[in-house]
Amino acid sequence: MRDDRKRPLAKAGELQAEQVVPVLGAYGVQRVVSSSSKRCWTTVSPYADVADLYVEVTADLSEEDATAKGVETIVHEVLQRPEPVVLCTHRPVLPHVYDALGVRDPKLEPGSMMVVHHRRGQVVGLELHEA
């Protein structure tokens, strides 16, 4: 059995990764944090390349290794930072992200994203961007 963490993006995913570059640029994303799974970090790599940023990869956001506590730690750290950050993770991990944010599940479709606006560690608004 193949290691799913090494699975590449499908062709549609590659196109979506390119299409998200101007969206992330419009938000001025200055930090990129991703699951250590290949399909996740390759989703945010086109933006990181254009913005000359390093992709911080962590197993704590991966489908295989994420825990509620690990995700909560990452989300809370991001909420304390002033710069715009993108987190890339997997559908099975999203419930942990939503719990850490204190928001309801917006039922994101594959390839979609949610923008979280926050002030002083508190979520003040959400935007959904469909694929």
- Give the per-residue pLDDT at 48: 96
Q: Is residue 123 part of a domain?
A: yes
What pLDDT, on the 0 to 100 scale, is given for residue 8?
Answer: 63
CATH for 77: 3.40.50.1240
Residue 3 lies in a domain: no
Domain presence at residue 113: yes
**Would the pLDDT of 1 be above 80?**
no
At 5, is the pLDDT very low, low, confident or very high (cuts 50, 70, 90)?
Answer: low
pTM here is 0.90
Q: Which tens digits make up the pLDDT trace of 6-62?
A: 666 678 778 888 899 999 999 999 999 999 998 899 999 999 999 999 999 999 999
Assign 3-class secondary structure to 48-101: HHHHCCCEEEEHHHCCCCCCHHHHHHHHHHHHCCCCCEEEECCHHHHHHHHHHH
Residue 110 lies inside a defined structural domain of this protein: yes
Q: What is the mean pLDDT of residues 65-88?
A: 95
Distance CA 65, CA 71 (A): 10
pLDDT of amino acid 120? 86
Q: Is residue 2 part of a domain?
A: no
Residue 125 pLDDT exceeds 80: yes
User: For residue 58, what are the domain limits?
Assistant: 9-129
Residue 20 lies in a domain: yes
Split into its structural domains, the chain has a count of 1
On the question of pLDDT at 116 being above 60, the answer is yes
Cα(49)–Cα(67) distance, integer angstroms: 29
**94 pLDDT more than 70:** yes
Report yes or no on 4 lying in a domain.
Answer: no
Regarding predicted confidence, which is higher, 5 or 123? 123
Output the average pLDDT for the chain.
90
Residue 111 lies in a domain: yes
